[in-house]
Chain A
Amino acid sequence: MNGVHDMGGMQDMGPIQAEQHEPVFHETWEARVFALRRAMGAWRKWNIDASRYAVELVPPTDYLRMSYYERQFTAFLDMLVQHKFVTHAELESGVPAPGTPIATPALTIEKAHMLVAKGVPTKRDLHIAPRFQVGQRIQTRNINPLGHTRLPRYARAKSGTIESDYGVFVFPDTNAEFLGENPQHLYSVRFSARELWGKQAPAKDSVYLNLWDAYLEPA
């Protein structure tokens, strides 16, 4: 989806505002949102790509106005309702619906420590032939899908070079919409700054993106 989240290359967003001695969380509620999302993620009803897609679906004017954690909270509520963890009626009443069985939390304290230490790898140990070789010139596809994609607009229909092959990874475009992991090779692809931004860009500079087989065509 060509949404406001895909902001690479925009120029009117203002100066960087770096805070000295910034706390990890500015407010307690931000920390709770951070933890609640991971704790509910442990039910495995969604995946990291689906949770990113949910944030992208926050309406654009809200997306730009909200803080990072406000966006995360808004998207989280949508996911909780969509996956039937809570109903609108429960959100309105503030209490579980009468007769609701009480679940056992998916994320225990032990599993929380495990999650922090191990994460959720998305590399797949599968023998799938790569479509491209290191050093090969490629062209990115000109795609404009309505769903989730990790091919930013600024890098579509551009020529680049395969710099490395990271192996086989889950493909976000299908995984985000629960259409399968569709594992395939993921590459580091180098684009010259001039290819992306024109000849006013410094000649030596470059941008590297991580791109999957499905985004690429031979040059």
Chain B
Amino acid sequence: MTTTRRDFLTATAATAGAAMTPDLTHAHQHEHEHQVVPSDPALRVKALESLLVEKGLVDRAALDALIDAYEHKIGPRNGARVVARAWADPAYKQRLLSDADAAIAELGYGGMQGEHMVVVENTPKVHNLVVCTLCSCYPWPVLGLPPVWYKSAPYRSRSVIDPRGILGEFGLQIPENVEVRVWDSTAEIRYLVLPERPAGAEHLTEEQLASLVTRDSMIGVGNATFPEKAST
């Protein structure tokens, strides 16, 4: 068991600051040809976790609690409730646009990577789009952890220079007379887009309204729509 763990961590050390590539793994394998060197990051991460736990540096229960929070408790349904409240309650909407932290806290949300929130409103004349070109900043308390495409080079690079092209790839055609505003999250301010309420939703309850709000509409790469319209 110890031998196996050493292998994982040696591979880990060899790749610290470099890539976890098959090439490096193979290079390592030449030094220890009698051993099977794992190339799977799963094994390397597991070995590192064991070392940190043995040194008393981390508590596995705390790790589990963090993961559980973002896998099961915090996600775009939170943001959807904020948006639905804003659609249903004009006074709440005003508070949300003028002091987002306090308004979002009214619904019980807030915290890590959403310490300083700003909400930007889509209107018939303005369409907002949120990106982080330098890393992958994203409003976790209201949207959860970002999808892979948000963290990817294509989105991070082109959102600022060709937002209409990016929106087209998501199926959104923005008319020429609508102003596109891109929000590059270069600091600790986190942005949530307040999408337009779809026509025909006036009679819906807040809960029903929330079901129309997609994650993408709160990033700005989609619109809030009725599901049947979304599929056509």
Contact = CB atoms under 8 A, between A and B. Distances in A.
Contacts of B18: 59, 62, 74
Nearest to B163: A205
A73 B182 contact: no
Interface string A105-122: 111110111011111111
Interface string B153-185: 111111111111010011000001111111111
A55 to B, nearest CB: 7
B57 A95 contact: no
Given A8-B184, A78-B16, A118 B111 contact: yes
B57 A85 contact: yes
Among A9, A14, A73, A210, the most chain B Cβ lie within 10 Å of the Cβ of A210
A95 B51 contact: yes
B198 interface: no
Contact of B16 (A68, A81, A85, A211): A81
Interface stretch (B4-12, B85-93, B203-211, B224-232): B4-12
B189 interface: yes
A162 to B, nearest CB: 14
Contacts of A170: 188
Contact of B161 (A16, A67, A154): A154
B74 interface: yes
A166 B116 contact: yes
Interface string B137-149: 0000100110111
15 contacts: A8-B134, A8-B184, A24-B71, A34-B67, A59-B18, A74-B18, A96-B51, A100-B55, A116-B74, A117-B111, A119-B115, A119-B141, A120-B112, A169-B188, A204-B179
B180 A202 contact: yes
A31 B71 contact: yes
Nearest to A57: B17
Contacts, number: 320
B59 A39 contact: yes
Interface of A: 5-11, 13-19, 22, 24-29, 31-36, 38-40, 43, 48, 52, 55, 57-59, 61-62, 64-70, 73-74, 77-78, 81, 85-86, 88, 90-96, 100, 102-109, 111-113, 115-123, 150-152, 154-155, 166, 169-170, 172, 186, 188, 193, 196-197, 202, 204-212
CB-based closest 10 A-B pairs: A8-B133, A210-B187, A103-B56, A105-B59, A10-B157, A35-B63, A94-B5, A119-B112, A62-B19, A77-B16
Given A15-B169, A31-B67, A77 B48 contact: yes
Nearest to B160: A8
Interface of B: 2, 5-6, 8-10, 12-13, 15-21, 41-42, 44-52, 54-59, 61-67, 69-71, 74-75, 110-116, 118, 133-136, 141, 144-145, 147-149, 151-164, 166, 169-170, 176-189
